[in-house]
């Protein structure tokens, strides 16, 4: 019998697994995907918003402000990327300046650092700001992270501390018996005292397995262009337009690895469809033109999209089931779900889990050891590594400068990568200009060797995504 089953290994499920692994509990995490962070956490803007945007009185406002303040310490402890690049919300006319005034008031009320800057000051820092921009508010504490790295590091530490992680199995049925639940996947039936429904876009379906879902999700797709690192000076801050009822708008966002993201739009979608569309990307282009100029589209290396599980009242839905207080629904976790995730986890544990279970701290908690990242070492450190492990000197991905041994390390890490995409998310071969054109097959060969499976059984990502078939 488990104490807790968490359904969903996105950023929210990963924070919960990590935080709950500090207590003497039996915790299992189940995700239908073959890797951690393959849902909405896979594809977003990666911004730790400071929390000036959500409406007063919402859970979003409360948890975003708290979560953003928790990230620096968490990222330091886990030794993962966190960059306070700062953000400019820009205004192009008098009406938009009125919106800046509202944001400033809200930021002041919430103790978020924010100050006005005039056009002359903006262009000193951002040469590519549009000629129409007249004023901005600077939010110096807005930050960016690497969401997959964060979720994976959290889950690794959870697994090191005893959490059981089941990947590639979809929860399709939940039965309630006297005093406990049985959670069914294709292969297993797991008994548990408590369920946390952190299934992102799938959360309403999970809720419907227990009761008529108390929340309704609408999928809102956001599409992006990714610019290569050659364009990394295009913007230094995150550049936002003023927000509207539709959302935070189309942005230019630096990433922790030196790329630039352009997007997203927001389009209602009937199914969990992640294709990008020419109309969506055209919308991104048209809206971006208002806030930035000289956009280096010749440096586009990829487009992608993510799905927001948006609720009907604009707020997160975080409450126990009406039928049984031992099932906690985390519904409608759209933006700023990433920025809020550490605070969502703390809130769920404090408000609900403590009322269902005794939480006794573990006697011994083990910290995760971050793997070496060769392209971040100085020459001497690199040489020392290569002397002890020569495969740290064999480069597989020439664009991102990723060595053979780093890929092997990722395969044998606590939540080991089993697919090409899982390797890409952990150590980045295929994230550069060639997008895997040269290194993907080399990565597949390493997976085949290390996992001891034929090359044709190596998956790109989900079931049946094999790279090739046996020759007849």
Ligand X SMILES: Cc1cc2nc3c(=O)[nH]c(=O)nc-3n(C[C@H](O)[C@H](O)[C@H](O)COP(=O)(O)OP(=O)(O)OC[C@H]3O[C@@H](n4cnc5c(N)ncnc54)[C@H](O)[C@@H]3O)c2cc1C
CB of 335 to ligand X, least distance (A): 4
**CB of residue 152 vs ligand X: minimum separation in angstroms?**
12
Identify the sign of the CA torsion 38, 43, 47, 53: negative
Q: Is 141 in the site for ligand X (CB under 6 A)?
A: no
The answer to the question of residue 333 lying near ligand X (CB under 6 A) is yes
Q: Does residue 432 belong to the site contacting ligand X (CB under 6 A)?
A: no
Which residues share a beta bridge with 304?
224
Nearest approach in angstroms of CB 224 to ligand X is: 7
Q: According to CB under 6 A, which one of 5, 6, 7, 374 is a site residue for ligand X?
A: 7
Instruction: Rule CB under 6 A: say whether 2 interacts with ligand X.
Output: no
Q: Which residue is nearest to ligand X (CB)?
A: 337
Q: How far apart are CA 284 and CA 298, in angstroms?
A: 16
The verdict on whether 49 is a catalytic residue reads yes
Does 308 help bind ligand X (rule: CB under 6 A)? yes
Kind and range of the H or E element at 87? strand 87-91
Is residue 86 within the footprint of ligand X (CB under 6 A)?
no
Residue 26's Cβ-count burial label (10 Å; 0-12, 13-18, 19+) is middle
Kindly tell me which of 119 and 170 has the beta carbon lying closer to ligand X.
170
Q: Which of these segments, 25-33, 87-95, 278-286, 452-460, binds ligand X (CB under 6 A)?
A: 25-33
Within 8 A by CB and 6+ apart from 321, the residues are 207, 210, 211, 214, 327, 328, 329
Binding residue (CB under 6 A) for ligand X from 21, 28, 41, 161:
41
Among 28, 34, 335, 413, binds ligand X (CB under 6 A): 335
Q: How far apart are CA 193 and CA 183, in angstroms?
A: 11
Strands (E), 375-472: 395-397, 402-403
The helix/strand/coil state of 70 is helix
- With CB under 6 A as the rule, give the number of residues binding ligand X: 40
CB within 8 Å of 385: residues ≥ 6 apart: 372, 374, 377, 392, 393
Q: Is 430 in the site for ligand X (CB under 6 A)?
A: no
What letter would DSSP give residue 125? Answer: H
Q: How far apart are CA 408 and CA 424, in angstroms?
A: 12
Residue 247 or 414: which CB sits closer to ligand X?
Answer: 247
Question: Which residue ranges make up the site for ligand X (CB under 6 A)?
Answer: 7-13, 30-33, 38-41, 44-47, 49, 170-171, 198-202, 206, 222, 264, 306-308, 333-339
Residues taking part in catalysis: 49
């Amino acid at each position: 019998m488990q104490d807790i089953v968490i359904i969903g290994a996105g950023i929210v499920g990963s924070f919960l697994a990590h935080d709950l692994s500090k207590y003497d509990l039996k915790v299992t995490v189940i995700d239908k995907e073959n890797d951690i962070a393959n849902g909405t956490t896979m594809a977003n803007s990666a911004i730790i918003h400071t929390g000036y945007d959500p409406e007063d009185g919402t859970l979003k406002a409360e948890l975003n402000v708290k979560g953003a303040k928790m990230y620096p310490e968490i990222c330091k402890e886990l030794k993962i990327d966190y960059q306070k690049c700062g953000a400019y919300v820009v205004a192009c006319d008098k009406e938009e300046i009125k919106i800046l005034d509202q944001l400033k008031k809200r930021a002041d009320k919430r103790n978020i650092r924010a100050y006005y800057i005039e056009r002359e000051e903006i262009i000193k820092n951002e040469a590519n700001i549009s000629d129409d921009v007249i004023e901005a508010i600077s939010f110096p504490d807005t930050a960016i992270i690497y969401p997959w790295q964060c979720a994976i590091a959290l889950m690794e530490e959870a697994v090191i501390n005893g959490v059981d992680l089941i990947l590639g199995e979809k929860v399709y049925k939940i039965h309630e018996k006297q005093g406990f639940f049985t959670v069914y996947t294709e292969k297993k039936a797991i008994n548990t005292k408590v369920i946390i429904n952190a299934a992102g876009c799938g959360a309403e379906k999970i809720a419907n397995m227990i009761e008529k879902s108390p929340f309704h999700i609408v999928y809102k797709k956001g599409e992006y262009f990714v610019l290569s690192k050659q364009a990394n000076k295009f913007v230094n801050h995150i550049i936002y337009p003023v927000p509207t009822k539709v959302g935070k708008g189309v942005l230019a966002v630096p990433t922790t690895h030196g790329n630039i993201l352009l997007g997203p739009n927001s389009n209602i979608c009937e199914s969990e469809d992640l294709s990008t569309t020419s109309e969506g990307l055209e919308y991104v282009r048209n809206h971006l033109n208002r806030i930035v100029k000289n956009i280096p589209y010749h440096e586009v290396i990829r487009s992608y999209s993510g799905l927001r599980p948006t609720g009907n009242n604009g707020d997160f839905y975080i409450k126990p089931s009406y039928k049984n207080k031992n099932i906690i629904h985390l519904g409608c976790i759209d933006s700023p779900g990433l920025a809020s995730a550490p605070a969502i986890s703390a809130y769920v544990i404090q408000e609900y889990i403590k009322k269902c279970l005794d939480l006794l701290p573990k006697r011994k908690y083990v910290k995760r050891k971050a793997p070496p990242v060769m392209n971040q070492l100085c020459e001497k450190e690199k040489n020392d590594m290569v002397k002890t492990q020569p495969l740290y000197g064999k480069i597989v991905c020439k664009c991102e400068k990723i060595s053979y041994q780093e890929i092997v390390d990722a395969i044998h890490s606590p939540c080991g990568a089993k697919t090409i995409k899982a390797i890409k998310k952990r150590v980045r071969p295929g994230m550069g200009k060639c997008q895997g054109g040269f290194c993907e097959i080399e990565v597949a060969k390493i997976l085949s060797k290390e996992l001891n499976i034929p090359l044709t059984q190596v998956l790109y990502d989900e079931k049946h995504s094999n790279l090739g078939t046996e020759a007849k």
